């Protein structure tokens, strides 16, 4: 079982490498990979596709700034955040807004694994751990 997972992981990684063109995930290449998997049905194809999905999702997340907000966020602010993040990471980053009342006020921006926290909820959590 473990070795199957390992083989599926390796195969998914190869497919993922094929899907990246010029440092970004190409929709055409992804479609090609999916067509190949459907046609040839490799062993443990569900496992392979799950691992492939994880890799692609992680890569796409690097190009997307998810802006969680409790108050209002206008398009200008989103554009400013996108520009800032693009500069920070040296690649095009698109900002998308996602309302989240639990933050109380402020913003929480997620780009890939990095989270920029400037919300009241985050500050209260930091305060709670500092006290």
Partner 1 sequence: MSTVLEQIEQQIAKLSGKGVKKNTGNIRTVADGVAKIDGLSDVMYNEMVQFPGGAIGIALNLEEDEVGCVILGDLSSLKEGDEVTTTGRLLSVPVGKELLGRTVDALGNPVDGKGPIDAKEFYPVERIAPGVVVRKSVSQALFTGIMAIDSMIPIGRGQRELIIGDRGTGKTTITIDTIINQARINRVGLASGDAKFRPVYSIYVAVGQKNSNIARTVTALEAAGALEFTTIVAAPAADNPANLYLAPYSGAAMGEWFMENGMDALIVYDDLSKHAVAYRQISLILKRPSGREAYPGDVFYLHSRLLERAARLEGKGSLTALPIIETLAGDVSAYISTNVISITDGQIFLETDLFNQGIRPAISVGLSVSRVGSAAQIKATKQVGGKLKGELAQFRELAAFAQFGSDLDAKTKAQLDRGNRIVELFKQPAFSPLPIELQVAVLFAMQKGFFEPIDIRKVVEAAVSLKSFFTTRKDALLAEIRTKAALDAELEAKLQAACEEWKSSFAA
Residues of this chain that interact with partner 1 (CB under 8 A) are 2, 13, 54-55, 58, 107, 109-110, 112-118, 122-123, 126-127, 130
Q: Coil, strand or helix: which one is 115?
A: strand
Half-sphere exposure of 16 (CA within 13 A, CB side): 19
Residue number with CB closer to partner 1 (42 or 122): 122
Q: Kindly state the tokens that stand for 70.
A: 């409790």
The nearest distance, CB 94 to partner 1, in angstroms, is 20
By beta-carbon proximity to partner 1, the closer residue of 1 and 41 is 1
Residue 98 Cβ, how far from partner 1 at the closest point, in Å? 15
Confirm if 33 and 76 have CB atoms less than 8 A apart.
no
Residues in the chain: 131
Q: What angle do CA 20, 90, 108 make, to 5 degrees?
A: 100
**What 3-state DSSP class applies to 70?**
coil
Nearer to partner 1, 33 or 51 (CB): 51
Work out how close the CB of 57 gets to partner 1 at its nearest, in angstroms, rounded to a whole number: 9
Instruction: Give Cα 76 distance to the centre of its chain.
Output: 22
Nearer CB in complex with partner 1: 83/115: 115
C-beta of 121: minimal distance to partner 1 in Å? 12
């Amino acid at each position: 079982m473990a070795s199957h997972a390992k083989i599926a992981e390796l195969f998914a990684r190869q497919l993922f490498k094929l899907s990246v063109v010029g440092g970004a995930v190409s929709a055409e290449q992804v479609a090609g990979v999916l067509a190949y998997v459907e046609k040839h049905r490799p062993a443990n194809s569900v496992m392979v596709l799950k691992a492939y999905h994880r890799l692609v999702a992680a890569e796409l997340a690097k190009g997307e700034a998810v802006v969680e907000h409790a108050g209002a966020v206008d398009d200008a602010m989103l554009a400013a955040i996108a520009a800032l993040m693009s500069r920070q990471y040296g690649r095009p980053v698109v900002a998308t807004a996602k309302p989240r009342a639990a933050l109380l006020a402020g913003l929480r921006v997620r780009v890939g694994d990095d989270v920029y926290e400037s919300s009241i909820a985050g500050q209260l959590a930091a305060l709670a751990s500092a006290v």
